């Protein structure tokens, strides 16, 4: 798994599951829901985010309900990684199980919107290509990264079972 | 450097000598618990999609407790599906209408110190009273566990909480937790909580399990108490032999914690949590004017035999107030039978209690005993979020079984100490 390189979208603290997956669209198809992801915080985000772009946020990202659409929307928008000071546990687990790498990043304040970041989740090496500063974060082990690149738990299980690796 | 109990269990399950908080590891699961609400009905279609069975039927326990007994055709279908699931996959450990999962597991000797257990219910933390790691996971993750017997986790930091001294009359573990929800807040994600101190070590398993159950309200991944002779006696009482290394599962003296807290049990008053959060709590004296419509003794956390006995202590020789209903749903069939045998049940019934089936019931508005808009309930359950027990406009106060019973007798929230001799 090579490093993810992308443009930074910057968010604040307590980005909750209602902001990520607005209740009004919960009954809509997931793809439609994704188009409204975070619209009340940054209306340009869902429309303009590019595959591989990186979200950087503060404290308790994903807090709120257990709704899996909060993480699924980020998968559908092809977000490269989420870096935050801290995450809510259910969101964090959902996101990894949907193939969206999440990394704990206490220095989030040093990153600005529009910076270009290179993130190597397996080695934990993070570089701000705009400012030239580099950081280390708690990495995601290679075997878990395999699940993430497969697109999450279900596609990964499908692949593993297809290869006869699991009973 | 030393390790905490939780770190030791995770390291063992991950096949490592040690782990540190923040590290992501994959653990081999010793036991998986799934329940009617989010278990077979969510897992089976995914097994079909993948064309696979379960990893080890011996290590999966299935409990039907949330929707029992069926109240309509939909819940009946869910219960039927669970029965078909255990037949299809030849799962030997199936508890169908035997009681609430978190009670039924220890009653049947499924928990041992040092085990790594995944549960498909948020209060799975309760198992930690037996010195094991037990945490709650969603349906999709339990599917993965049922297929592979593995799960990844991020090693949590551990919070250490010590209680010392003796409780005053009518103060119990439930009061400790309502107090801690206020003190520590409810968003302690990525932490485990470990309880200790002489107050905790002198508690029964029933009381210890309240501390671990409501670790879920603190937002902790799990809650644990190091095993001791009390733990081993409970395992033997369930008809099992404790593992030979059971007492080796404890934190090292030099283990490092994210925070440490010490409290004095003698200073604690009976507590009440007001709507709509367990953290919105205070001493019972602040709430004694609140009139109630319903008192509920139920749930995994609050309807064990000891909880029913607390209520009976208050209600012995008394009648519940007019215009109040007292509903009692013992947490398991065994609790029901034990309470019948020792006379607790007849005290409650004589006082005017309505007995309900063993199961989750009104705790999560799934069965009998739900509330209408505008009604006020005091409950021995663990959550009072808006709409949790019925209408969004209902008000739910939480208290210990002593406090719930006192309110049932008085018709309003009351200090249970005034009802005990
Ligand atoms: S009794 Fe309530 S808290 Fe306990 S498992 Fe059932 S629904 Fe959950």
Domain count along chain B: 2
Q: Same domain for B161 and B286?
A: no
Centre of ligand 1 to C-alpha B177, Å, is 16
Cis peptide before B69 (omega within 30 of 0): yes
Residue from B39, B17, B47, B55 nearest B151 by CA? B55
pLDDT at A77 over 50: yes
Residue where one domain finishes, among candidates B241, B263, B285:
B263
Question: What pLDDT does residue A28 have?
Answer: 86
3-state secondary structure of A124: coil
Q: What is the CATH number of the domain that holds B164?
A: 3.30.499.10
Q: Same domain for B255 and B310?
A: no
- A101-131 exposure pattern, b = at least 16 Cβ within 10 A, e = fewer: bbbbbeebeebeeebebbbbbbeeebbbeee
> What is the enclosing helix (H) or strand (E) of A165?
none
3-state secondary structure of A129: coil
Cβ–Cβ contact B77 with A under 8 A: no
Q: What is the pLDDT along chain B (421 residues), one digit of tens a residue?
A: 899 999 999 999 999 999 999 999 999 999 999 999 989 999 999 999 999 999 999 999 999 999 999 999 999 999 999 999 999 999 999 999 999 999 999 999 999 999 999 999 999 999 999 999 999 998 889 999 999 999 999 999 999 999 999 999 999 999 999 999 999 999 899 999 999 999 999 999 999 999 999 999 999 999 999 999 999 999 999 999 999 999 999 999 999 999 999 999 999 999 999 999 999 999 999 999 999 999 999 999 999 999 999 999 999 999 999 999 999 999 999 999 999 999 999 999 999 999 999 999 999 999 999 999 999 999 999 999 999 999 999 999 999 999 999 999 999 999 999 999 8
- The range of the structural domain enclosing residue A48 comes to 4-166
Q: Same domain for B192 and B286?
A: no
Percent of chain B with pLDDT over 70: 100
Question: What pLDDT does residue B140 have?
Answer: 86
At B197-241, the pLDDT tens digits run 999 999 999 999 999 999 999 999 999 999 999 999 999 999 999
Residue where one domain finishes, among candidates B263, B293, B328:
B263
Measured between beta carbons, which residues in chain A are less than 8 angstroms from residue B52?
161, 166
Residue where one domain finishes, among candidates B238, B263, B288:
B263
Q: How large is the average pLDDT for residues A134-151?
A: 95
Find out whether B61 and B105 touch, Cβ atoms under 8 Å.
yes
Question: What pLDDT does residue B83 have?
Answer: 98
Question: What pLDDT does residue B1 have?
Answer: 84
Q: Same domain for B176 and B299?
A: no
Q: Same domain for B354 and B219?
A: no
Q: Provide the pLDDT confidence category of residue A1 given band limits of 50, 70 and 90.
A: low
Torsion of CA B26, A95, B53, A166, to 10 degrees: -40
At A12-69, the pLDDT tens digits run 999 998 899 988 888 888 999 999 999 999 999 999 999 999 999 999 999 877 788 8
Q: B363 CB less than 6 Å from ligand 1?
A: yes
Cβ–Cβ contact B84 with A under 8 A: no
Q: B300 CB less than 6 Å from ligand 1?
A: yes
What is d(CA A96, CA B292) in angstroms, rounded to the nearest whole number? Answer: 45
Dihedral sign of CA atoms B397, B403, B405, B408 in order: negative
Other CB atoms within 10 A of residue B41 CB: 18
Strand order in the sheet with B281-283: B281-283, B271-273, B395-398, B376-379, B294-297, B325-328, B354-355
Beta-ladder partners of B306:
none
Q: Which of B65, B102, B120, B398 to mutate to test the pocket of ligand 1 (most atoms within 8 A of CB)?
A: B102
Question: What pLDDT does residue B131 have?
Answer: 98
Phi and psi at residue B20, in whole multiples of 5°? Answer: -125, 150
Cβ–Cβ contact A86 with B under 8 A: yes
Residue to substitute from A93, A156, A159, interface B, most B β-carbons within 10 A: A93
Q: Provide the pLDDT confidence category of residue A123 given band limits of 50, 70 and 90.
A: very high
- Count of residues in chain B: 421
What is d(CA B75, CA A20) in angstroms, rounded to the nearest whole number? Answer: 32
Q: What is the mean pLDDT of chain B?
A: 97
3-state secondary structure of A144: helix
What is d(CA B55, CA B40) in angstroms, rounded to the nearest whole number? Answer: 14
Q: Same domain for B255 and B374?
A: no
Q: What is the CATH number of the domain that holds A148?
A: 3.20.19.10
Find out whether A142 and A122 touch, Cβ atoms under 8 Å.
yes
CB contact under 8 A, B26 and A144: yes
Q: B326 CB less than 6 Å from ligand 1?
A: no
Other CB atoms within 10 A of residue B266 CB: 12
Q: What is the ipTM of this complex?
A: 0.89
Q: Provide the pLDDT confidence category of residue A90 given band limits of 50, 70 and 90.
A: confident
Could you tell me which residues come within 8 angstroms of residue A27 by beta carbon, excluding any fewer than 6 positions away?
Answer: none
Q: Same domain for B252 and B285?
A: no
Centre of ligand 1 to C-alpha B300, Å, is 6
Q: Provide the pLDDT confidence category of residue A167 given band limits of 50, 70 and 90.
A: very low
CB contact under 8 A, A93 and B138: yes
Q: Same domain for B275 and B380?
A: yes
Measured between beta carbons, which residues in chain A are less than 8 angstroms from residue B221?
89
Q: Same domain for B163 and B310?
A: no
Q: What is the mean pLDDT of chain A?
A: 92
CB contact under 8 A, B189 and A141: no
Q: Same domain for B234 and B377?
A: no
Question: What pLDDT does residue A106 have?
Answer: 97
What is d(CA B392, CA B388) in angstroms, rounded to the nearest whole number? Answer: 8
Domain count along chain A: 1
The CA distance from B267 to the nearest CA of chain A, in Å, is 33
Q: Same domain for B158 and B19?
A: yes
Cβ–Cβ contact B144 with A under 8 A: yes
Total-model pTM: 0.95
What is d(CA B265, CA B176) in angstroms, rounded to the nearest whole number? Answer: 8
Q: Give the one of A104, A141, A144 whose C-beta lies nearest to B22's C-beta.
A: A104
Centre of ligand 1 to C-alpha B265, Å, is 27
What is d(CA B136, CA A94) in angstroms, rounded to the nearest whole number? Answer: 13
- The range of the structural domain enclosing residue B395 comes to 271-419
């Amino acid at each position: 798994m090579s490093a993810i390189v992308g443009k930074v979208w910057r968010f604040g603290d307590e980005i909750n599951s209602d902001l990520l997956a607005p209740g009004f669209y919960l009954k809509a198809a997931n793809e439609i829901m994704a188009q409204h992801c975070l619209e009340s915080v940054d209306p340009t985000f869902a429309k303009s985010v590019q595959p591989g772009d990186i979200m950087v946020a503060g404290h308790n990202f994903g807090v709120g309900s257990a709704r899996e659409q909060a993480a699924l929307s980020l998968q559908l928008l092809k977000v490269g990684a989420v870096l935050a000071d801290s995450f809510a546990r259910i969101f964090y687990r959902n996101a990894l199980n949907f193939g969206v790498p999440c990394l704990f990043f206490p220095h989030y304040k040093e990153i600005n919107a529009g910076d270009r970041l290179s993130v190597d989740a397996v080695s934990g090496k993070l570089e701000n290509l705009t400012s030239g500063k580099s950081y280390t974060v708690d990495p995601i082990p290679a075997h878990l990264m395999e699940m993430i690149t497969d697109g999450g738990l279900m596609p990964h299980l499908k692949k593993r079972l297809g290869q006869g690796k699991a009973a | 450097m030393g390790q905490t109990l939780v770190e030791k269990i995770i390291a063992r399950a991950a096949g490592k000598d040690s782990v540190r908080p923040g590290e992501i590891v994959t653990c081999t699961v010793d036991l998986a618990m799934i329940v009617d609400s989010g278990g077979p009905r969510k897992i089976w279609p995914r097994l079909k999609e993948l064309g696979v069975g379960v990893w080890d039927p011996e290590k999966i326990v299935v409990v039907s407790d949330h929707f029992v007994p069926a109240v309509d055709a939909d819940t009946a279908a869910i219960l039927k599906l669970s029965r078909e699931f255990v037949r299809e996959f030849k799962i030997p450990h199936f508890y169908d209408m035997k009681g609430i999962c978190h009670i039924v597991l220890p009653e049947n000797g499924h928990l041992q110190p040092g085990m790594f257990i995944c549960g498909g219910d948020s209060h799975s933390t309760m198992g930690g009273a037996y010195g094991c790691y037990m945490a709650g996971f969603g349906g999709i993750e339990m599917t993965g566990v049922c297929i592979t017997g593995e799960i990844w986790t991020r090693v949590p930091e551990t919070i250490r909480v010590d209680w010392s001294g003796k409780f005053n009359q009518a103060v119990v573990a439930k009061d400790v937790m309502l107090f801690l929800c206020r003190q520590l807040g409810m968003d302690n994600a990525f932490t485990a909580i470990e309880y200790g101190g002489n107050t905790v070590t002198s508690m029964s398993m029933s009381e210890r399990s309240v501390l671990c159950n409501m670790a879920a309200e603190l937002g902790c991944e799990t809650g644990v108490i190091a095993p001791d002779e009390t733990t081993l006696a409970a395992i033997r009482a369930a008809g099992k032999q404790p593992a030979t290394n059971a007492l080796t599962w404890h934190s090292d003296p030099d283990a490092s914690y994210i925070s440490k807290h010490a409290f004095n049990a003698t200073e604690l008053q009976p507590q009440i949590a007001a709507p709509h959060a367990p953290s919105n709590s205070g001493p019972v004296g602040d709430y004694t004017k609140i009139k109630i419509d319903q008192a509920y003794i139920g749930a995994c956390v609050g309807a064990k035999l000891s909880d029913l006995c607390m209520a009976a202590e208050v209600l012995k020789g008394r009648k519940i107030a007019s215009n109040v209903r007292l509903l009692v749903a013992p947490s398991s069939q065994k609790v029901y039978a034990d309470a019948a045998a020792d006379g607790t049940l007849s005290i409650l019934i004589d006082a005017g209690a309505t007995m309900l089936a063993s199961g989750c019931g009104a705790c999560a508005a799934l069965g009998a005993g739900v509330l209408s808009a505008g009604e006020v309930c005091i409950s021995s359950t663990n959550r009072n979020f808006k709409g949790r027990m019925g209408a969004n406009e209902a008000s739910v106060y939480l208290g210990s079984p002593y406090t719930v019973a006192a309110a049932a007798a008085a018709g309003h929230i009351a200090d249970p100490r005034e009802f005990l001799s």
